[in-house]
Amino acid sequence: MTAEHHDHTTTSRTHRPAIVAVTRHGAVLANRLAGAMTEADVWVSSRFAGFAGHGAHAFDGPVARLVGDLMARHDRLVMICAVGAAVRLIAPHLVDKRADAAVVAVDDGGQFAVCVLSGHIGGGNALTREVADALGAAPVITTASEAHGVPAADLIGRELGWRIEGRHHLTRLAAALVNGEPVGVFQDAGERDWHAGPLPEHVIHFASVEHLLAASPRAAIVITDRVIAGLAGRAGVVVYRPRSLVVGVGCSRGASCDEIGRLVDATLRDAGLSVVSVRAVATVELKRDEPGLVAFARERDIPLRCFSAEQLNAAPGQETPSEVVRAAVGTRGVCEPAALLTAGAGRLLVPKRKSRNVTVAVARTALPFAAASPDDLPVAAGSSTTRAMTGILHVVGIGPGAPEQMTGRAREVLEAADAIVGYGLYLDLLRVWLPHARYHPSPIGDEEARAREALLLTKQLTRVALVGSGDAGIYGLAGLAHEVRDGIDWADQMPPAIDVVPGVTAATAVAALLGAPLGHDFATVSLSDILTPWDTIAGRLEAAAVSDFVLALYNPTSQRRGPRFAAALDILRRVRSPETPVGIVTNAYRDGQSVIITSLGSVEQHPVSMLTTLIIGNSRTRVQHGRMVTPRGYTVNG
Ligand code: SAH
């Protein structure tokens, strides 16, 4: 990393690290460290100066004052002392994470290098690794993105000179990255190797911005030099501007800075390109000192590159040669070949445009990695396929049934899905409000086959939704989807990401219809012994009953498993009194809804089916005005 990457910090500070030692061992370590780092300033307490090398500065007086001075003059500080001591010493000088120096503390034995401050933007993590390497110490880095191996949102492209638009969305993006929430990526310009190693699977590449927005991920990384409509202000969307454009400029003598600026801006705007992505301005040697052009480059803080007439003449790809120009400067063109040569590209993005005294052309830099050519980059929005495309499987809990019991996010995801897979009955519930979706109904039962079908569809489609009732993860398909995905041969394709969209589960849906029976600790038990041995179920049921949990019983019965329900009631009756309130709800929030409040002694008098959920009260559950209520505590009404 070089000093120019730190141009955001107070420029008067030097990037040379300052190393401070106040002990004998510290002085020796400081000396070793200084030997391994290019150009470091070493400060050693004068008592131990003899243990440090020749170049070390000895200091007397309070170390607090020295540290204050060093924080003002250096943007990197290594302190050989306890982390606590370092914290106290730097505390009075802290401003914010974009301005503060990187601070690393090293213990007196040289065992650990601990990043104390400015791990990301200030380069503290990098400094920590450098120090640890030099001393053979263990680097201690505590920023969350490093812990999870995800890119740090505020560092993406930083070393490549990229700029960030939508900074205020960085926090949401950073949180989504470290929390494993879905993050979409779209890139159509700039270096492709902006992250080291593979991205984690919750970070998903999309083939177009439209695909990305439709999938409504929690946050997004958009890397583009284009101005894309509909991005500004989208929550969590951060636009990174790679330095991927080169503007070639030709001008007659005396052309004004203003005229150059106007034509450059208009050219970029009309081509839908961002001026923030301009990496360089290029022209012919003859114009190196042309005042208007020099002023323009300085004003925009963009380097000016100049080429000789011979170099320009030899450049391939020029589209608008001119004999007039040849007569004036000895080449058939300036702006086009200058842009092409600087960009190392074979093709112009925008051929020559003219105003009175100025010509402008734009090229995109060739990508600095072997596999891709500029042709890989779609210039227009919305291309539908690229090699990087990966599908996503949303496992969506649609709630108990009625569309209004579905979450907003579930709705969004289903509306955007390219296909919806699920048990026929649930798909019928969706058809009511989403008639034109592409549905793949499957029979009840073989859930593994259903998960497989949905996963395989992601080979052709970007967004596939696999729906289930209630919550997708509660006795649902979400876990199965993860297992099945690992068993599929994805060949050269990236396996799809799995995004679980939560829903209102049967327990909370039926509880709402009954009153408030889940007001205190509760347990859910599924009586289905298809995937779980009955002994396990019976054991859990008994343990939960003994512990006085309120119980929500899912899958109470089916034609195949009649006797299990009777056995379950026997277990409960051994522990709880026959007066215990019991709620029996069938088809909650669906046609044929039935809500019954009875007691443990009388459950058999009421119908129970596979579309029923039962709630068994605890020892304090009461029926009040026809509603089943479990008190939260022991204060209200005794
Ligand atoms: N994932 C679902 C549960 C699937 S297991 C969820 O979170 O709700 C299937 C069981 O859920 C059924 O046997 C029944 O006990 C319960 N269930 C699902 N929908 C229901 C509804 N609308 N009314 C009552 N119980 C329901």
Per-residue pLDDT tens over the stretch 261-290: 999 999 999 999 999 999 999 999 999 999
Cα 612 to ligand 1 centroid, rounded to whole Å: 7
Displacement of CA 301 from its chain's centroid (Å): 31
- CA distance readout (Å), 587 to 401, 457, 593: 8, 31, 5
Tell me the sheet residues that pair with 103. Answer: 77, 117
Nearest CA to ligand 1 atom 11: 554
Q: Which residue has the higher pLDDT, 342 or 389?
A: 342
Of 558, 613, 614, the one to substitute when testing ligand 1's pocket (max ligand atoms within 8 A of C-beta) is 613
Neighbours of 375 (CB within 10 A): 9
Question: pLDDT at position 388, please?
Answer: 34
Nearest CA to ligand 1 atom 15: 554
With a 6 A CB cut-off, is 507 part of the ligand 1 pocket? Answer: no
Is 566:545 a contact under the CB 8 Å cutoff?
no
Indicate the angle between helix axes 562-575 and 534-546, nearest 10 degrees.
30
User: Coil, strand or helix: which one is 350?
Assistant: strand
Of 469, 501, 551, the one to substitute when testing ligand 1's pocket (max ligand atoms within 8 A of C-beta) is 469
- CA distance readout (Å), 362 to 374, 375, 493, 540: 14, 15, 35, 70
Is 572:563 a contact under the CB 8 Å cutoff?
no
Helix then strand then coil, % of the chain, to nearest 5: 35, 25, 40
Q: What is the pLDDT of residues 521-566, one digit of tens each?
A: 999 999 998 888 999 999 999 999 999 999 999 999 876 656 789 9
Is 169:146 a contact under the CB 8 Å cutoff?
no
Our separate counts of H helices and E strands in the chain read: 19, 30
DSSP states of 184-245: EEEE-SS-S--SSSPPPTTEEE-SSHHHHHHH--SEEEEE-SB--TT-TT-TTEEEEE-S-E
pLDDT (average), residues 345-355:
87
Question: pLDDT at position 213, please?
Answer: 85
What percentage of the chain exceeds 70 in pLDDT? 92
Q: For residue 468, what is the DSSP state?
A: E
With a 6 A CB cut-off, is 429 part of the ligand 1 pocket? Answer: no
Question: pLDDT at position 402, please?
Answer: 82
What is the Cα–Cα distance from 16 to 39, expressed in whole angstroms? 6
Decide if pLDDT at 21 tops 90: yes
- Ligand 1 atom at minimal distance to the Cα of residue 397: 1
- Ligand 1 atom at minimal distance to the Cα of residue 528: 13
What is the Cα–Cα distance from 360 to 286, expressed in whole angstroms? 16
Provide the mean pLDDT of the chain: 87
Decide if pLDDT at 252 tops 70: yes
Nearest CA to ligand 1 atom 2: 470
Tokens of 3: 């000093």
Q: What is the pLDDT of residues 479-502, one digit of tens each?
A: 999 999 988 988 766 678 888 899
What is the Cα–Cα distance from 23 to 571, expressed in whole angstroms? 71
Question: pLDDT at position 560, please?
Answer: 64
pLDDT (average), residues 457-480:
90
Neighbours of 23 (CB within 10 A): 17
Tell me the sheet residues that pair with 596. Answer: 584
pLDDT (average), residues 226-243:
90
Listed residue (600, 519, 593) closest to 553, CA to CA: 600
- Ligand 1 atom at minimal distance to the Cα of residue 400: 22
Listed residue (65, 55, 69, 73) closest to 15, CA to CA: 73
Q: What is the pLDDT of residues 126-164, one digit of tens each?
A: 899 999 999 999 999 988 877 777 888 988 998 888 999
Question: How long, in residues, is the chain?
Answer: 638
Cα 552 to ligand 1 centroid, rounded to whole Å: 11
Cα 625 to ligand 1 centroid, rounded to whole Å: 26
What is the Cα–Cα distance from 540 to 537, expressed in whole angstroms? 5
